[in-house]
């Protein structure tokens, strides 16, 4: 693995590394993003943030990504799907610079904004989104931690951004965190919005990705959709994504 760029800003050190066809971002030694230019995948958590997009056969016209990091999930979405617009919110200007320069997030369909995600969500009054991805993480003692508590109040604010029939995707540090969150145990006002919910995970990662759908769907329907996408076909694990999923009771 080779370091292709390194910079210290204040007390924070950023590194961009290359590993084969992959580009990786490390912030204070914490692994933040990975993208493979050849396959359009990461072989990591970022793949799981993208997969729930394909529950809906109509795809997603407008997508919001909270927590851009290096921009891996945005590149993956653009590689495997055809959204009309992707809005990325990131508080760290160095991450945005890295996303543009080293991860190639320069597509005209992408709008990258430097902003605090919580404040941006609270102030937003525009058109709702078909897909909202919450990947808001920071570092503490060399370990990744969620930057925003995944409680019921935050869940309400994110659901308010979704159009009817939309999908909400949230990255949790562990299954335990997902199970105890305000997303897995929604209040009465949110329960009507969640028609189907699933947890996505990989064997070698502790993170679990929660996908909360405002429509009925199933594992079978997702697999059918993925089977029509060469790079994501579950039947070809050497080419696709070797992931696990479970149905959540919400």
* 17-56 pLDDT per residue, tens: 998 899 999 998 888 899 999 999 988 899 999 999 999 9
What pLDDT band is residue 141 in, cutting at 50, 70 and 90?
A: confident
Helix (H) or strand (E) holding 201: strand 196-201
Distance CA 69, CA 99 (A): 7
Is pLDDT of 188 > 80?
A: no
Q: What is the pLDDT of residues 5-17, one digit of tens each?
A: 999 999 999 999 9
Which of 44, 52, 76 is CA-nearest to residue 218?
52
- Looking at the domain assignment, is residue 110 inside a domain? yes
- pTM across the whole model: 0.95
Within 10 angstroms of residue 207's Cβ, the number of other Cβ atoms is 20
Question: What is the domain range of residue 46?
Answer: 41-247
Residue 30 inside a domain? The answer is no
Q: Taking all residues of the chain, what is their mean pLDDT, rounded to a whole number?
A: 93
Over range 167-189, report the average pLDDT.
91
pLDDT at 1: 78
Nearest Cα to 183, choosing from 158, 220, 216? 158
Q: 240 in a domain, yes or no? A: yes
Residue 14: inside a domain: no
Per-residue pLDDT at 204: 86
- The predicted pLDDT at position 235 comes to 76
The pLDDT of residue 238: 58
Q: What is the CATH number of the domain that holds 64?
A: 3.40.50.150
**Residue 239 predicted with pLDDT over 70:** no
Is residue 198 a part of any domain in this protein? yes
Whether residue 117 is contained in a domain is answered as yes
In whole angstroms, give the CA distance from residue 176 to residue 208.
9
Closest C-alpha among 148, 130, 105 to residue 214: 130
Domain count for the chain: 1
State the pLDDT at residue 172.
97
Greatest mean pLDDT among 134-143, 153-162, 180-189, 190-199 lies in 153-162
Whether residue 35 is contained in a domain is answered as no
236: pLDDT strictly greater than 80? no
In a domain, 3, yes or no: no
């Amino acid at each position: 693995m080779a370091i292709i760029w390194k910079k210290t800003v204040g007390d924070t050190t950023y590194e961009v590394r290359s590993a084969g066809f992959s580009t990786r971002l490390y912030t204070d030694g914490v692994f933040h993003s990975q993208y493979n230019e050849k396959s359009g995948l990461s072989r990591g958590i970022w793949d799981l943030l993208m997969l729930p997009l394909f529950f809906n056969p109509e795809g997603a016209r407008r997508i919001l990504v909270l927590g851009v990091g290096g921009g891996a999930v945005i590149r993956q979405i653009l590689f495997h799907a055809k959204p009309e617009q992707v809005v990325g919110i990131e508080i760290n200007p160095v991450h945005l610079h890295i996303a543009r320069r080293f991860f190639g997030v320069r597509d005209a369909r992408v709008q990258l904004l430097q902003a605090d995600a919580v404040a941006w969500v609270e102030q937003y009054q525009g058109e709702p989104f078909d897909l909202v991805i919450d990947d808001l993480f920071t570092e503490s003692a060399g370990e990744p931690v969620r930057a925003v508590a995944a409680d019921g109040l935050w869940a309400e604010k994110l659901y308010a951004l979704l159009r009817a029939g939309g999908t909400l995707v949230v990255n949790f540090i562990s299954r335990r965190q997902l199970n105890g969150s305000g997303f897995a145990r929604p209040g009465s006002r949110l329960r009507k919005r969640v028609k189907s919910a699933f947890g996505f995970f990989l064997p070698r990662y502790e993170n679990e990705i929660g996908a909360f759908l405002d429509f009925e769907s199933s594992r079978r329907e997702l697999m059918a959709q993925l089977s029509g996408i060469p790079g994501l076909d579950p039947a070809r694990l050497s080419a696709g994504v070797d992931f696990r999923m479970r149905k959540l009771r919400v």
